[in-house]
Chains A and B, each alone.
Chain A
Amino acid sequence: MSQAAQPATEDFLALKLDSSEILQSFENTNNWQERYRQIMLLGKTLPKLGEEFRIEQAQVRGCESNAWLYHSEIEGKHYYLADSDARIVKGLVALLLAACQGQSSEDIANFDIEGYFDQLGLTGQLSPSRTNGLFALAKAIKASA
């Protein structure tokens, strides 16, 4: 992750995603169309990173679209900001952040990412062979905490 400019601490703290609410909304979906609509809606809740932060050093490798990730440790908890120029990828990123935002190192280390995506009905999206960058992002999040 970037050693260069970081978004402000309050920006990290401002991003609040409720993972139980998200899981609930996914449980109520009946088909992939509804699930991917939810993903896109969720993507919209992630604030757009300013151009100054959409830089190569923050880019997540292995993603066909551009995706950027920032991490900050505040009072022993981990906070993230991320963005992508593809809407569904951004939504998938938001799903991941929802589970990790404000968590402790231990929580993140114990977080079963695969199980989480299975629970969301998105098995397969978290494969290293996918070009959505999710696998690399998950690795980066695990490594940061």
Chain B
Amino acid sequence: MDFTQLRAQFPTLEQTLEGYPLCYLDTAATSQKPKRVLDAMVQYYEKDNANVHRAAHQLSSRATSQYEAVRDTLSCFINAQRREEIIFTHGTTEAINMVAYGLSAQIKKGDLILIDTAAHHANIVPWQKLAQRTGAIIKPIPLTADCRLDETAYDALLQDKPAIVALSHVSNALGTLNPVCSLIARAKQAGAFTLVDGAQAIAHLAVDVRSIDCDFYVFSAHKMYGPTGIGVLYGRYDILDTLIPLMTGGEMIKTVSFEATEFNILPNRLEAGTPPIAEVIGLGEAIAFIDELPRAETCRRENELICYLQSQLELLGDITLYGAHKDNVGAVAFNLAGEHHQDVGILLDQQGIAVRCGHHCAMPLMQSLQLKGCCRASVGVYTSKDDIDRFITALTSVKEMLL
């Protein structure tokens, strides 16, 4: 694979910021988009723009075909059993909200909901709301000292037969990887509904929902080289079919009268209103982009970059790494000795380095690490070794200024 050619597909990366070339290490927040994704969306608006599922005319028919083709693409991409198991959402957050709301009638007082301590707020707050509605109880699954999910504690918690187990595939703040296949198998044995937040995994790992065997798997397009405002809820058909729709209105109904309304079948039942059609088409193009990559090679490259990043940070000294393991995916979390992460971020920004500094929407994780926050550098397919070197050089000058 010609890396230069790959990188050249991302227009945003070609810019300088006050004399410094942009060094984009914030892919975990949102990835940059290859031009073909932007083109696909423009093409839709310029040539095929019409509403979907009302194909009384040719444009609508074209738009609907393209829109529904992406469902098929996604179904193959994550190896779902049926295309109806793919629901378009606005993103991971909406997808988890749909599940947490949708299960309301199946959760009762005293039921236990287990949540990964490293979970993103999007995988915590909807469950808290569900618990408030139903009287269920939330328990965090603790982490070990090296920031892995504590499997001994997990197995002990499973003894209490939780109703729901919500995990992250990859932690957004730390990049740590959960052994989801084994964790899900044990949760299912305990009789729980299972959800995996795949937002940070989907761009970096080949995801097979049948092998993970979770009931729900959710992710966002914008973290996988696709547009913002579109995401995916995968659900096992029989369970997905039991969800109470969070959103009701047009598109999701079969018949409506003022006396009663009958809902449509899946997937429409869970897709109320006009969907973000251009974004779905953009997502389809992002998947085509990923599918054309030599996946094994890019995965290996990304892993090498992560390991290189970790070792260069350690070499720099006065750096604390959090949950740094060789098998981390996409991200490295760190702090500069005794310095506020925001100061580090401001000074890196002066040098064209884009990293995220903060609590990373994972306040419970930060509390468990007793941190106010940290810096996170994250990579994507377009990240080069040169990016890492420039980041380390910039951080060296930050260190000189602050320490």
Taking CB atoms, residues of chain B closer than 8 Å to A131 are 342, 358
Taking CB atoms, residues of chain A closer than 8 Å to B343 are 65, 86-89
A139 on interface, CB distance cutoff 8 Å: no
From B339, B340, B342, B345, residue with most partner A Cβ within 10 Å = B342
Taking CB atoms, residues of chain B closer than 8 Å to A132 are 342, 346
Taking CB atoms, residues of chain A closer than 8 Å to B373 are 64
Residues of chain A at interface, number, CB under 8 A = 15
In the bound complex, CA of A66 to CA of B340 (Å): 10
Query: Do residues B340 and A87 form an inter-chain contact, with CB atoms below 8 A?
Result: yes
Query: With contacts A85-B340, A89-B343 known, is A32 near B350, CB below 8 A?
Result: yes
Query: Do residues A64 and B347 form an inter-chain contact, with CB atoms below 8 A?
Result: no
* A32 → chain B closest CB, angstroms: 5
B260 on interface, CB distance cutoff 8 Å: no
Taking CB atoms, residues of chain A closer than 8 Å to B358 are 64, 131
Taking CB atoms, residues of chain B closer than 8 Å to A65 are 340, 342-343, 372
Within 8 A of B (CB), among A89-145: 89, 131-132
B-side interface size class: 10 to 19
Query: With contacts A36-B347, A131-B358 known, is A88 near B342, CB below 8 A?
Result: yes
A24 on interface, CB distance cutoff 8 Å: no
Within 8 A of B (CB), among A53-80: 64-66
Query: Do residues A89 and B347 form an inter-chain contact, with CB atoms below 8 A?
Result: no
* A94 → chain B closest CB, angstroms: 14
In the bound complex, CA of A64 to CA of B402 (Å): 18
B182 on interface, CB distance cutoff 8 Å: no
Output the nearest chain B residue to A89 by Cβ-Cβ distance: B342
Taking CB atoms, residues of chain B closer than 8 Å to A16 are none
Contact with A64, one of B342, B397, B401 (Cβ below 8 angstroms)? B342
In the bound complex, CA of A51 to CA of B216 (Å): 46
A33 on interface, CB distance cutoff 8 Å: yes
B357 on interface, CB distance cutoff 8 Å: yes
Query: Do residues B402 and A87 form an inter-chain contact, with CB atoms below 8 A?
Result: yes
Query: Do residues A37 and B401 form an inter-chain contact, with CB atoms below 8 A?
Result: yes
Output the nearest chain A residue to B20 by Cβ-Cβ distance: A32
Taking CB atoms, residues of chain B closer than 8 Å to A32 are 18, 350
In the bound complex, CA of A23 to CA of B255 (Å): 70
Taking CB atoms, residues of chain A closer than 8 Å to B401 are 33, 36-37, 40
Contact with A88, one of B347, B372, B397 (Cβ below 8 angstroms)? B347
Interface bits A15-53 vs B (CB < 8 Å: 1, else 0):
000000000000000001100110010000000000000
Within 8 A of A (CB), among B20-62: none
In the bound complex, CA of A131 to CA of B345 (Å): 10
Taking CB atoms, residues of chain A closer than 8 Å to B341 are 64
Query: Do residues B397 and A86 form an inter-chain contact, with CB atoms below 8 A?
Result: no
Output the nearest chain B residue to A125 by Cβ-Cβ distance: B346
Taking CB atoms, residues of chain A closer than 8 Å to B347 are 36, 88
From B18, B345, B358, residue with most partner A Cβ within 10 Å = B345
In the bound complex, CA of A87 to CA of B342 (Å): 9
In the bound complex, CA of A87 to CA of B347 (Å): 11
Contact with A33, one of B18, B342, B345, B397 (Cβ below 8 angstroms)? B397
* A126 → chain B closest CB, angstroms: 13
Output the nearest chain A residue to B18 by Cβ-Cβ distance: A32
Taking CB atoms, residues of chain B closer than 8 Å to A66 are 372
Query: With contacts A64-B357, A64-B358, A87-B402 known, is A36 near B350, CB below 8 A?
Result: yes
In the bound complex, CA of A64 to CA of B341 (Å): 9
Query: Do residues B350 and A88 form an inter-chain contact, with CB atoms below 8 A?
Result: no
In the bound complex, CA of A64 to CA of B346 (Å): 11
Taking CB atoms, residues of chain A closer than 8 Å to B18 are 32
Output the nearest chain A residue to B357 by Cβ-Cβ distance: A64
Taking CB atoms, residues of chain B closer than 8 Å to A33 are 397, 401
Taking CB atoms, residues of chain B closer than 8 Å to A88 are 342-343, 346-347
In the bound complex, CA of A87 to CA of B397 (Å): 16
Taking CB atoms, residues of chain B closer than 8 Å to A89 are 340, 342-343, 346
In the bound complex, CA of A15 to CA of B264 (Å): 68
Given A65-B342, A66-B372, 9 more A-B residue pairs with CB atoms under 8 Å apart are A36-B350, A37-B401, A40-B401, A64-B358, A65-B372, A86-B343, A87-B402, A131-B342, A132-B342
Q: What are 20 A-B contacts defined by CB distance under 8 Å?
A: A32-B18, A33-B397, A36-B401, A37-B401, A64-B341, A64-B357, A64-B358, A64-B373, A85-B372, A86-B340, A86-B343, A87-B402, A88-B342, A88-B343, A89-B340, A89-B342, A89-B343, A131-B342, A132-B342, A132-B346
Closest 8 CB pairs of A and B: A86-B340, A86-B342, A65-B342, A88-B343, A32-B350, A64-B342, A86-B343, A88-B346
Interface residue ranges, B against A (CB under 8 Å): 18, 339-343, 345-347, 350, 357-358, 372-373, 397, 401-402
